[in-house]
Amino acid sequence: MPSPRKVRLQMSYPKGPANPKGPASWAALLAAALAIVPVLTGCSGAADTRPPGSTGASATPATAATPTWAPVTGPPRTVPAVRAFRPADGRGWRPSEGARVVVPAGARSTVADEARLLAKDLGGLPVVWGKKAVRPGDVEVKLTGGAAAGRPDNAPARSTADESYTLTARNTRLTLTAPTDAGVFYGTRTVKQAVRAAGGLPEGTIQDRPDRPRRGMLLDNARKPFSAAWIEARIRELGDLKLNQLQLHFSDDQGFRIQSDTHPEIVSEDHLTKNQVRHLVNLARSRHISVIPEIDSPGHLGAVLEHYPDLQLRTAQGSTVRGAIDISKPKAGELVDSLLREYAALFTNPKGTAAYWHLGGDEYQALMSSDPETKYPQLAQAAREKYGPGGSIEDLATGWLNDREKTVRAAGKNRIEAWNDGFFADGEVQADKDRIADYWTGKETGARDPAAYLREGRQVMNFNDEYLYYVLGEPNQFTYPTGQRIYRSWTPRVLRGTEPVSVPQGQTGPDRIPGARFAIWCDLADSQTPQQIAAGIRLPLAALAQKTWDPRQPAMSWADFKALANRV
């Protein structure tokens, strides 16, 4: 890595007139890029795409003429913006006739799929496997260092160092290096976007890595079903924006949206099959995206409890509470645990990597009452029996989530999250110390400031409902968030409301606030079509990508950023 004195942080961008016709198609942009490159003399355009060791002569000459093209000017133009760019004198790099993607590590390496994807994104360039000479116009893709040794292919990044990469455009060649295949993947996204935005990359060196290690989106596909194709399109979009998490909230009062073998009766008519889920998980993994399942409990279980009415929570007067399970009953835990075990086996993770699970824990109606002990005496009695005379319903709810966490940990999950209103202070029972608090609101009864969770030593994921909640139909005073507002005034440190959390800055770094997810909640499911949702979240996701990759004040104006996001 060059010293800080030698790396100029690129925080300014050339300004130009907006395209009055909107972004050109990728095919047209690539054709335009290639059209300015003359036919290379002495080069047939063929390439050796056979794996090392294959027989037969190659039609590709050992040398190729140096291509010529108009210089690529200005810094790289990408979303999110690269963090550091050191310019140099030269014409930069553009995809040209006869260009190839060269992978010295070979067709069986962990970067083979990233190289193939880049070649496809650049219009179908040939891929050359093995230690071959890198010719003018080529892109070389290679791992550096030993950080990737022993890692499974497409393993999720363990830190932002795993996601770093370097791109060097020099003498008409482009070199992409990274310590892991995750870093290589993000480098390929930079190349793809830079070509779309400006036809190529300027001469010089990019050194890039994200600020926050966890960046992503939550989809409520319980209240509103989404097709596998729609979710697949969002996974590709997340990958291109260098976002790396997708949370699926697939169980709620309105629906249970994934096939079940152990409890088929609870599954909604419109649902994803397990094979569809496996395909989505594998696609996400190929884009270095972790899929985080959420089965919310002890509230938001209405679709399940419709078939288990004896487990539904009831008041002292005998009236039922929609969506709430009676956590004083042993069979309640058995039912939910059986579902947790079934879906933990479906949402797989490479061995030795972060394996996420979301327990839910929010809006349990018994704890939203002004006098829960009187209204739900069976819960109060169970708490005292289990935790002594001082035991409370909050203790019983905390113990419930602790027990559910034991179940998913036994099933191999090691990164456990729950909503912030599922954590309680000063009780007989404390939430597992490693559980991540997903902070979404401070409006609930007894709300604690996010600073309290940080002072406890917890990691806190940012779901700030002021900026990051896209709630269909805009109920309860929610308004659709805009990319402009996120881009201009939100950072990962803004956990609640509009001001940074009030703790020492050392408690707000990536180790304590690891990132953020943008949440799509389908409270009024028919308010927007899936197509409208895709359009509505596009710029907010781009802004989130920018501010989690680099939380500093962006150099680009919102108008310029929006135009760029629309193009790439």
Domain at 257, CATH number: 3.20.20.80
Q: Does 222 fall in a domain?
A: yes
Are 180 and 159 contained in the same domain?
yes
A 10 A CB-CB count for 276 gives 17
Residue at which a domain ends, from 170, 185, 208: 208
Dist CA 174 CA 84 (whole Å): 17
Phi, psi dihedrals of residue 516, rounded to the nearest 5°: -155, 155
Q: Does 489 fall in a domain?
A: yes
Dist CA 357 CA 222 (whole Å): 17
Are 164 and 245 contained in the same domain?
no
Binned average pLDDT, 10 residues per bin, the chain of 568 residues: 35 36 43 40 34 34 73 96 98 96 96 98 97 96 79 89 97 97 97 98 98 98 98 98 98 98 98 98 97 98 98 97 97 98 96 93 93 96 97 98 98 97 93 97 82 96 98 97 98 97 96 98 98 98 98 95 97
Sign of CA dihedral 299, 305, 311, 313: positive
Are 248 and 336 contained in the same domain?
yes
Are 416 and 294 contained in the same domain?
yes
Q: What is the DSSP string of 197-257?
A: HHSSB-SEEEEE--SSSEEEEEEETTTS---HHHHHHHHHHHHHTT--EEEEEEESSS-B-
Distance of CA 240 to the CA centre of its chain: 11
Distance of CA 508 to the CA centre of its chain: 20
Are 202 and 157 contained in the same domain?
yes
Sign of CA dihedral 312, 315, 317, 319: negative
Are 502 and 557 contained in the same domain?
yes
Structure tokens at 340: 């947790």
- The residues annotated with a catalytic role in the active site are 363
Q: Does 468 fall in a domain?
A: yes
Q: Does 92 fall in a domain?
A: yes
Q: Give the count of domains, the chain.
A: 2
Q: Does 326 fall in a domain?
A: yes
Say what the pTM is. 0.89
Q: Does 58 fall in a domain?
A: no
Are 392 and 288 contained in the same domain?
yes
What pLDDT was estimated at residue 48? 37
- According to DSSP, the β-strands at 515-521 and 290-297 are unpaired
Name the residue range of residue 278's domain. 214-567
Q: Which amino acid is at 330?
A: P
* Bridge partner list, 101: 127, 139
- For residue 312, give the DSSP letter: E
Q: Does 28 fall in a domain?
A: no
Are 333 and 468 contained in the same domain?
yes
Q: Which amino acid is at 476?
A: N
Contacts of residue 38, Cβ cutoff 8 Å, sequence gap at least 6: 67, 68
* Bridge partner list, 140: 102, 175
CB-CB contact of 222 with 297 (8 Å): no
Are 174 and 223 contained in the same domain?
no
Are 142 and 238 contained in the same domain?
no
Distance of CA 467 to the CA centre of its chain: 17
Phi, psi dihedrals of residue 255, rounded to the nearest 5°: 180, 155
For the chain, first and last CA: distance in Å? 28
H/E stretch holding 450 reads helix 450-455
Residue at which a domain ends, from 208, 240, 263: 208
Closest CA to 15 of 84, 71, 74: 74
- For residue 498, give the DSSP letter: T
Are 253 and 142 contained in the same domain?
no
Half-sphere exposure of 334 (CA within 13 A, CB side): 5
Contacts of residue 297, Cβ cutoff 8 Å, sequence gap at least 6: 325, 336, 359, 360, 361, 400, 404
Distance of CA 525 to the CA centre of its chain: 23
Structure tokens at 159: 């830190």
Helix intervals (H) in 297-356: 302-305, 330-346
Are 145 and 230 contained in the same domain?
no
Residue at which a domain ends, from 187, 208, 229: 208
Question: Helix or strand or coil: residue 10?
Answer: coil
Dist CA 308 CA 311 (whole Å): 6
Q: Does 154 fall in a domain?
A: yes
CB-CB contact of 14 with 73 (8 Å): yes
